[in-house]
Amino acid sequence: MSSSRITVLLLNWNGWQDSVKCIESLKSLTYPNYEIVVLDNASTDDSVARIREAHPDVTLVETGANLGFAGGNNVGIRYALDRGADYIWLLNNDTVVDCNALTALVENAEADSKVGVIGSVIYDMHVPTRIQAWGGGRVDLWLGISRHFDGPISNEKIDYITGASFLVRSEVFRQIGLLDDCFFMYWEDADFCLRARRAGWKISVASTSKIFHKESASVGQRSSRLDIYFNASAVKFFRRHAPIPLFPILTGVGGRILKRIFKGDWKRAMAVLQGMSNGLVGTRGF
């Protein structure tokens, strides 16, 4: 078994119950050489005290503010790089991991030195036989949309690994930089993977690495806030990566607005529009 040193990063914001359960599952991993680091993004629900009480042996770093997904994880990535981690595993705190999940990720990475980003198969925590994402998904740079794959697919067809379970070789961070914190939430994983690919790194899915995901615990299902975050980041992403940025921005945002209007949900339709506006002017956060 590999002896590579792994740092596991859990980003917490007002979700200590999920984080405690995730840490419990991580402590059952079969992989021998890893450190768990919890990053608290200025929670207001007593998360820091609760997590320290439940798991006093786990490193907890307070970021000092709600830095978003990319900004909060970047605090942990710097911590891990400074301490010589060979790989860094970004893991959503609203997950439970299979005991062999990390071993499978590392074995996949070490089978090919050009593999830089590796994902797990993400299952629905409530319906464990249902696949939420086969590692990641594909981005349409013309239609302004992305979609997760829900079954086996060749690595070459995957554009990005979902940030729910995201193992990265430390060399990749040193070469292309950290997550771009202009993305407060969403699309930072796709942006990072496209940058890694352009730098010559491969993306891979470890099919036997299983993660069970609660999904959207930090913002709530079907929320207007989620729409603002998602569309602001989408606009920033397509401005950076699309051949003709205006086209995917208008088609993607327009489609999401129409979908909500057809459902009679004007509040969320306006949230999509606000997200587009925020993305165009470069607003971070909510």
Whether 102 and 6 have beta carbons less than 8 Å apart is answered as yes
Above pLDDT 70, what percent of the chain? 95
Above pLDDT 90, what percent of the chain? 93
pLDDT, position 218: 45
Q: Are residues 171 and 266 in the same domain?
A: no
pLDDT, position 22: 99
Q: Are residues 190 and 232 in the same domain?
A: no
Q: Is the pLDDT of residue 224 over 60?
A: yes
User: Is position 115 within any domain?
Assistant: yes
Q: Are residues 95 and 180 in the same domain?
A: yes
pLDDT, position 116: 98
pLDDT, position 2: 74
User: Is position 64 within any domain?
Assistant: yes
pLDDT, position 102: 99
What's the rounded mean pLDDT across residues 93-118?
A: 98
Number of domain units in the chain: 2
Whether 57 and 18 have beta carbons less than 8 Å apart is answered as no
Q: Is the pLDDT of residue 128 over 60?
A: yes
User: Is position 218 within any domain?
Assistant: no
Residue 48: phi, psi to the nearest 5? -60, -50
Q: Are residues 204 and 247 in the same domain?
A: no
Q: Are residues 267 and 150 in the same domain?
A: no
Q: Which domain holds residue 106?
A: 6-213
131-134 and 136-140 beta bridge pairing: unpaired
Last residue of a domain, one of 166, 182, 213: 213
Q: Are residues 183 and 245 in the same domain?
A: no
- pLDDT tier at 284, thresholds 50, 70, 90: low
Q: Are residues 106 and 229 in the same domain?
A: no
Nearest CA to 233 out of 190, 177, 173 is that of 190
pLDDT, position 220: 44
What's the rounded mean pLDDT across residues 187-197?
A: 98
Q: Are residues 231 and 169 in the same domain?
A: no
pLDDT, position 163: 94
Q: Are residues 199 and 94 in the same domain?
A: yes
Q: Are residues 207 and 232 in the same domain?
A: no
Share the mean pLDDT of the chain: 95
Whether 105 and 161 have beta carbons less than 8 Å apart is answered as no
What's the rounded mean pLDDT across residues 123-143?
A: 96
| Residue found by looking up tokens 């991991």 in the block | 97
CATH number, residue 83? 3.90.550.60
CA separation, residue 13 to residues 37, 42, 69, 212 (Å): 14, 7, 10, 19
Q: Is the pLDDT of residue 219 over 60?
A: no
User: Is position 1 within any domain?
Assistant: no
What's the rounded mean pLDDT across residues 118-127?
A: 97
Q: Is the pLDDT of residue 87 over 60?
A: yes
pLDDT, position 281: 87
- pLDDT tier at 282, thresholds 50, 70, 90: confident
What's the rounded mean pLDDT across residues 219-228?
A: 74
User: pLDDT tens-digit profile of 27-75?
Assistant: 999 999 999 999 999 999 999 999 999 999 999 999 999 999 999 999 9
Residue 44: phi, psi to the nearest 5? -115, 10
pTM of the model: 0.94
